[in-house]
């Protein structure tokens, strides 16, 4: 079974009080079709480009990966948000646990991977202290080049390399807008190798572009299978996309304003974080596309099974009825181990596998939630590999904008993020943001009475 499957029994009124009845499915599916139609119009007009990534040429990326293989011990990616979360998902899902601690030979002559995302100084310092400049390559990912966190990390890493290597132009690769922006100008001036992010593909929709694919190729992943998996998600005439969007919209309209993503696999923990950015930035909007104030959205909650059975499931089961849980089940876990106990108290584990235990606990949690009337749905994949991961990425890259556009929300901008960025630019003295600094000074007032 290569195709991802959707089990939505426990969102139905046949099992859950207040769940979706036949009329609800029909009504919300029609609403989802409206959102899909609007999305297709945007794609056909050239405004939105992520669905067209399935046709991209990967030859240059694979050639680059082959070129540096065997000559680089550390590959540092400077990027944040949409420029890092997808890559971290790829690494966690497709590389062995503890990959960076493996020897060069055990890694198949492929480099260690580091992500410089946050501006917590201890992180980038730790990365530099771990790496040798002569054996290090920097990959800076920023579509505009103006993202301050990426600019800061890139500058720190660039100066470190420049003071330790002879020809830094051979140590940096840039992934950015094809025609414009600060990073494109820097790449041209310094003669850095550069790969394009299509101008109509936004950051949080870019994991199946060079943003995710170039580092993936460097790490030996099959990037063509990633693309093929993503492309396959529309092969059923969008049926799964429409059904999944319908379910989410129904429960958003019926008080479930928290959307929990809970894969039962540690390898998919970062997928939950990627999902949260996609959902939160795309759907959390004050205004619709006509300018009407709507305060639309729901809160994504990252979770991972079975770990969070020992922290959050108590809340999911017996807390407020404001959550919808999406499980992800992996039927065949890599490197599965059969249990054998030397202790009589654990005889019940004998003959079972760790993967079986993981999936038994998932089903037990589904049943426990159902027993208290809490809805859940489940995505099922046979194995976790490039193909199925590509499916997961593309499935949600469709579902989320379909929901937004069905409500006349723009799922491709993030004005709530931009305001804070502009205040920061003003405080840092960036030209053109003097008024933002003044505005910040007016807004950011506090009283000592409320500080302990």
What is the DSSP secondary-structure string of 351-419? T-BHHHHHHHHHHHHHHHHHHTT--EEEEEESS-SHHHHHHHHHHHHHHHHHHHHHTT--TT--HHHHH
Task: Summarize the confidence of residues 237-261 as an average pLDDT.
Answer: 98
Is 310 marked active-site? yes
pLDDT in tens, 314-354: 999 999 999 999 999 999 999 999 999 999 999 999 999 99
Q: What is the pLDDT, as a whole number, of residue 102?
A: 98
Task: Summarize the confidence of residues 365-370 as an average pLDDT.
Answer: 98
Q: What is the pLDDT, as a whole number, of residue 99?
A: 98
- Give the residue carrying structure tokens 């876990």: 333
Is 239 marked active-site? no
Residue boundaries of the structural domains of the chain: 5-41+233-406, 52-227, 415-450
- Of 1-10, 165-174, 237-246, 434-443, give the lowest mean pLDDT range: 1-10
Distance CA 263, CA 43 (A): 30
pTM of the model: 0.96
Domain 5-41+233-406 belongs in CATH node 3.40.50.10490: yes
For residue 449, give every residue at least 6 positions away whose Cβ sits within 8 Å of its Cβ, in sequence order, or none: none
pLDDT at 64 over 80: yes
- Six token digits for residue 432: 């053109």
pLDDT-above-70 percentage for the chain: 100
Q: What is the pLDDT, as a whole number, of residue 236?
A: 85
- Six token digits for residue 337: 């181990």
Q: Are 137 and 76 in contact (CB under 8 A)?
A: yes
Q: What is the pLDDT, as a whole number, of residue 251?
A: 99
pLDDT at 3 over 90: no
Q: Are 34 and 26 in contact (CB under 8 A)?
A: no
Q: Are 39 and 408 in contact (CB under 8 A)?
A: no
Q: What is the pLDDT, as a whole number, of residue 147?
A: 93
pLDDT at 257 over 70: yes
Q: What is the pLDDT, as a whole number, of residue 235?
A: 87
Cis amide leading into 350 (omega within 30): no
Candidate list 281, 329, 366, 386, residue with the active-site label: 281
pLDDT in tens, 386-433: 999 999 999 999 999 999 999 999 999 999 998 999 999 999 999 999
pLDDT in tens, 83-137: 999 999 999 999 999 999 999 999 999 999 999 999 999 999 999 999 999 999 9
Domains 5-41+233-406 and 52-227 share a fold: yes
- Six token digits for residue 313: 């499931």
Task: Summarize the confidence of residues 69-86 as an average pLDDT.
Answer: 97
Of the CA atoms within 13 Å of residue 195, those in its CB half-sphere come to: 24
Task: Summarize the confidence of residues 188-201 as an average pLDDT.
Answer: 97
Q: 3-state SS of the chain: helix, strand, coil percent to 5?
A: 50, 15, 35
pLDDT in tens, 195-215: 999 999 999 999 999 999 999
Comparing 366 with 418, the larger pLDDT belongs to: 366
Q: What is the pLDDT, as a whole number, of residue 178?
A: 95
Comparing CA positions, the residue from 278, 378, 261 lying closest to residue 323 is 261
Candidate list 17, 166, 292, 310, residue with the active-site label: 310
Is 281 marked active-site? yes
Q: What is the pLDDT, as a whole number, of residue 2?
A: 75
CATH number for the region 52-227 comes to 3.40.50.10490
Q: What is the pLDDT, as a whole number, of residue 10?
A: 99
Candidate list 69, 170, 421, 437, residue with the active-site label: 421
């Amino acid at each position: 079974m290569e195709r991802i499957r959707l089990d939505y029994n426990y969102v139905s009124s046949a099992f859950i009080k207040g769940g979706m009845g036949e009329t609800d499915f029909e009504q919300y599916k029609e609403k989802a079709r409206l959102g899909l139609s609007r999305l297709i119009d945007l794609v056909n007009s050239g405004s939105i480009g992520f669905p067209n990534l399935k046709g991209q040429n990967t030859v240059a990326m694979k050639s680059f990966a082959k070129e540096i293989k065997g000559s680089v011990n550390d590959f540092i990616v400077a990027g944040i948000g949409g420029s890092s979360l997808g890559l971290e998902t790829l690494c966690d899902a497709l590389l062995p646990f503890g990959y960076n601690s493996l020897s060069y030979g055990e890694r198949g002559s492929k480099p260690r991977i580091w992500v410089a995302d946050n501006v917590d100084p201890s992180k980038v310092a730790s990365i530099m202290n771990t790496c040798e400049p002569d054996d290090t390559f920097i990959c800076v990912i920023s579509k505009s080049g103006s993202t301050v966190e990426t600019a800061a990390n890139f500058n720190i890493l660039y100066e470190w390399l420049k003071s330790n290597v002879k020809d830094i132009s051979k140590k940096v690769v840039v992934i950015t807008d094809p025609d414009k922006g600060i990073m494109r100008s820097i790449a041209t001036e310094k003669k850095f190798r550069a790969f394009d992010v299509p101008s109509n593909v936004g950051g949080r929709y870019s994991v199946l572009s060079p943003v995710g694919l170039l580092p993936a190729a460097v790490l030996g992943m099959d990037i063509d299978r990633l693309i093929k998996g993503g492309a396959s998600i529309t092969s059923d005439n969008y049926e799964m996309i429409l059904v999944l969007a319908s379910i989410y919209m129904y429960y958003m309209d019926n008080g479930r304003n928290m959307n929990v993503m809970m894969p039962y696999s540690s390898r998919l923990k970062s997928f939950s974080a990627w999902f949260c950015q996609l959902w939160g930035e795309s759907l959390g909007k004050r205004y619709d596309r006509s300018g009407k104030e709507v305060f639309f959205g729901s809160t994504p909650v990252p979770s991972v099974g079975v770990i969070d059975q020992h922290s959050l499931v108590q809340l999911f089961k017996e807390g407020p009825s404001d959550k919808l849980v999406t499980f992800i089940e992996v039927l065949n876990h890599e490197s599965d181990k059969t249990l054998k106990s030397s202790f009589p108290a654990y005889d019940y584990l004998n003959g079972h596998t760790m993967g079986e235990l993981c999936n038994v606990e998932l089903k037990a949690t589904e049943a426990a939630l159902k027993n208290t009337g809490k809805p859940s749905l489940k995505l099922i994949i046979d194995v976790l590999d490039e193909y199925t991961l590509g499916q997961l990425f593309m499935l949600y890259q469709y579902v989320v904008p379909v929901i937004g556009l069905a409500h006349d929300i723009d799922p491709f901008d993030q004005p709530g993020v931009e305001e804070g960025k502009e205040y920061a630019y003003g405080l840092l003295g960036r030209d053109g943001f003097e008024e933002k600094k003044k505005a910040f000074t007016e807004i950011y007032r506090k009283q000592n009475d409320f500080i302990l």
